[in-house]
Amino acid sequence: MRIVTTPAAAREALASMPKPVGLVPTMGFLHEGHLSLVRRCRGENATAVVSIFVNPLQFGPREDLSSYPRNLVRDQDLLERLETDLVFAPDASAMYPSDASTFVEETRLSADLCGAARPGHFRGVCTVVLKLFHIVQPQRAYFGEKDFQQLQVIRRMVRDLDVPVEVVGCPLVREADGLALSSRNVYLSPEDRLRARALSRSLAHARDLVARGERDARALQREVEAFLRRDPALELDYVAVKKADTLEDADSLEGRILVALAARVGKTRLIDNSVLEV
């Protein structure tokens, strides 16, 4: 496994590696969700590349950029066990010139949900992902469905800008108790960890309601909100019921429906979702 830290070194290394190339973009502090992407990438491509970069552009001024969990040595050990071919681990100065003034922005799918809660977040995501695509030039790139809005925004960017990359969405991975895997789970105290289980349970409640015949999107949204508000220590950011493919508001429940939510548990903001086939 090769480890490089600059775009030039990544291009040089990839010049002699076989195609197709698959890319798994990450911010590091890898967990089983990330590793499931790497395994799929490894199985579907001749060359597997993982980027590890805590992207400052996608953090707001009062967010956790400085404290975001990092452990590059551990990450590299995990990736070597999975026979990753190349790890691209730049710092911010290697990715962005000090006077950088060019950004990439999707304006429709990113307007709501986490885009409304975190202004500028998806501009940072699109900018870094497009840069990674230019540097690595993969044939396929792998993203988890836990960040479902991010996945759809990247798909739209690739479509709109004619980027020759197949964007592959991979299933959300959960802990044994249902909590969606996230690098930020490390922030949770034992008490917050117990409270956080309400997120996945509220989605299970939504699935049960649909299975019993609920077809009104607003009623479903209210039910999930009420479920989460049972614990006053949970600070609810949003619950939304959307058409999964377009992220447009759903009125009736039919086709592929996304139930998405975000809540603050203690000091930690967590997201979760479930895609329902109605």
Pairing relationship of beta strands 2-4 and 86-88 according to DSSP bridges: parallel
Which tokens sit at 179? 């909590």
User: Does 34 qualify as catalytic in the annotation?
Assistant: yes
Would you say 241 and 220 are in contact if contact means Cβ atoms under 8 Å apart?
A: yes
Q: Could you tell me the CA-to-CA distances from 27 to 6, 184, 242 in Å, in that order?
A: 16, 11, 27
The residue annotated as part of the active site, out of 34, 121, 134, 205, is 34
The catalytic residues are 34
